Amino acid sequence: MKNITRDNLSDAVKLSFAQIDNARLCHLVERLTHHLHAFAHETALTHSEWREGIAFLHRAADISSPSRSEFTLMSDVLGLSSLVDLLAARPGATEGSVLGPFHTRGSPWMESGSSLIRDNPGEAVLIRGQVTDVHGQPLADARIDFWQNADNGMYWQMDDSQPQDNLRCQIQVQADGRFELATIRPKPYLVPTDGPVGELLRVSHREAWRPAHFHIIVEAPGHCTLITEVFDQGDPWLDKDAVFGVRASLVAEYKTETDSDTASRLGLPPAYLCMDLPIRLAKED
Ligand code: BEZ
Ligand code: FE
């Protein structure tokens, strides 16, 4: 008979997982057990607090669906998603930031030099960039997956008034790694607060705002895929992002330009805002 006590329980649980074949998984489960038990010890966790925690997780499961993961949102507001991004940072490469729940695979392909503006109200902007390796060598085979919210702050998936695939696309960069995209200036918006994550934000007197941003996934053969966001330097919520996604290197400025060729080629007004976006990818190991 194993006499389980306060002092030997954690080791007994760890030992019970020691036969996991995959060495990395074995390590992760052992460390998770260690930190969970340490948390309960350190806080002298009570039965009612433990029950409340389990009920919180049940509420997260109940509100989750194939198109909504309350668990991912929980990871986001706890800063875990950002910590994983920061741990994965590669020297010299553009920094990563949270994927968020509104990426869907299979966005329409568009040529570099296209416009997403169509019937969207909002401030017209030009996003112009170049994808290179960390030494500045252009990556001619890079592809960019781009998505953002509309002028009312909503992504097309949340808003029946927007057409499917509004304000999202995939672009193959030009031979010199450059690309251009006309779009509208993204708006700040609120993360969903109708689930248990909203309860957590309210009880903490935390804001649910995310500063205005657009998302990109950049891929190139032989290079690490970059998942990131680019923020608007003029946004009032930059210091209070609900999901801790802002990095100084990912904040950029829209500057006014008046190049008439560019304006007519991309259907922009004579004076338009332009953001320059250098994107550097690290080599795969
Ligand atoms: C977003 O950027 O769209 C987002 C990120 C994390 C949580 C909710 C939304
Ligand atoms: Fe977003």
Instruction: pLDDT tens for the chain, 285 residues: list them.
Output: 789 999 999 999 999 999 999 999 999 999 999 999 999 999 999 999 999 999 999 999 999 998 889 999 999 999 999 999 999 999 999 999 999 989 989 999 999 999 999 999 999 999 999 999 999 999 999 999 999 999 999 999 889 999 999 999 999 999 999 999 999 999 999 999 999 999 999 999 999 999 999 999 999 999 999 999 999 999 999 999 999 999 999 999 999 999 999 999 999 999 999 999 999 999 998
Same domain, 33 and 140: no
Query: 283 C-alpha vs ligand 1 centroid, how far in Å?
Result: 27
Pocket test for ligand 1, best of 98, 215, 240 (most atoms within 8 A of CB): 98
Same domain, 36 and 82: no
Structure tokens at 208: 């649910």
Residues with CB under 6 A from ligand 1: 73, 76, 98, 100-102, 191, 210, 243
d(CA 76, CA 218): 21
Same domain, 97 and 29: no
Q: Which atom of ligand 1 is nearest to the CA of 213?
A: 2
Q: Verify that 104 and 176 share a domain, yes or no.
A: yes
Residue 61 in domain = no
Cα 189 to averaged position of ligand 2 atoms, centre (Å): 8
Same domain, 113 and 19: no
d(CA 259, CA 270): 7
- The answer, as to whether pTM is greater than 0.85, is yes
Number of domains in the chain: 2
Residues 88, 199, single domain; the answer is yes
Q: Which CATH number do you get for residue 80?
A: 2.60.130.10
Residue-number span of the structural domain to which 164 is assigned = 74-281
110 and 201: one domain? yes
CA 197 to CA 60: how far, in whole Å? 8
- Write the CB contacts of 127 (distance below 8 Å, at least 6 apart in sequence): 180, 181, 182, 183, 214, 274, 275, 277
